[in-house]
């Protein structure tokens, strides 16, 4: 059995080849919306090494975010993924549309480093946008289980 340090050296093992599924689901207010989930993670072998579920919420009606109206959602996804990957393993599993914007579902291996990075991003006057972040321990990836089915 490989250690997590050995696995992390092989990016093909750490980050499976994406298999994005787009689907329609209603928002909390009952509006139909498009979402996506990366089904490559359904049978991901290393879930136990990335036990921290991180929900990043983007409110597109936020005054600061409105001023950044030309930002593409893929640019936002890449921003968080790339910034977090500078300090930890970060899996971007889904984008779920909300009534005011969208949520990104991520899984991380190092919560302390991720929290430091989020603080840095929040405090940067030149940040890409405002966001909220909630991190919970989810060893079995139950928070994303329904989307992966």
Please state, in angstroms and rounded to a whole number, the distance separating the CA atoms of residues 92 and 95: 8
Please state, in angstroms and rounded to a whole number, the distance separating the CA atoms of residues 50 and 141: 9
Tell me if 53 is assigned to some domain.
yes
User: Could you tell me the residue range of the domain that residue 65 belongs to?
Assistant: 21-148
Tell me if 14 is assigned to some domain.
no
User: What pTM was computed for the model?
Assistant: 0.94
Tell me if 85 is assigned to some domain.
yes
- Condensed to tens digits (0 to 9), the pLDDT of residues 104-118 reads 999 999 999 999 999
Within 8 A by CB and 6+ apart from 5, the residues are none
Domain containing residue 144: CATH number: 3.30.70
Domains identified in the chain, total number = 1
Tell me if 127 is assigned to some domain.
yes
- Condensed to tens digits (0 to 9), the pLDDT of residues 119-129 reads 999 999 999 99
pLDDT of the residue at 12: 80
Tell me if 72 is assigned to some domain.
yes
Tell me if 40 is assigned to some domain.
yes
Tell me if 5 is assigned to some domain.
no
């Amino acid at each position: 059995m490989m250690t997590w340090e050995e696995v992390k050296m092989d990016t093909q093992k750490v980050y499976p080849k994406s298999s994005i599924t787009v689907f329609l689901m209603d928002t909390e207010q009952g509006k139909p919306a498009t979402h996506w989930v990366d089904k490559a993670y359904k049978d991901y072998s290393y879930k136990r090494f990335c036990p921290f579920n991180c929900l990043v919420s983007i409110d597109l009606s936020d005054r600061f975010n409105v001023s950044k109206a030309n930002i593409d959602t893929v640019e936002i996804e890449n921003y968080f993924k790339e910034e977090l990957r500078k300090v930890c393993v970060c899996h971007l599993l889904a984008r779920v549309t909300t009534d005011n914007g969208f949520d990104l579902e991520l899984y991380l291996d190092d919560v302390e480093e991720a929290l430091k990075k989020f603080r840095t991003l929040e405090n940067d006057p030149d940040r890409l946008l405002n966001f909220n972040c909630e991190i919970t321990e989810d060893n079995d990836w139950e928070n994303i289980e329904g989307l992966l089915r």
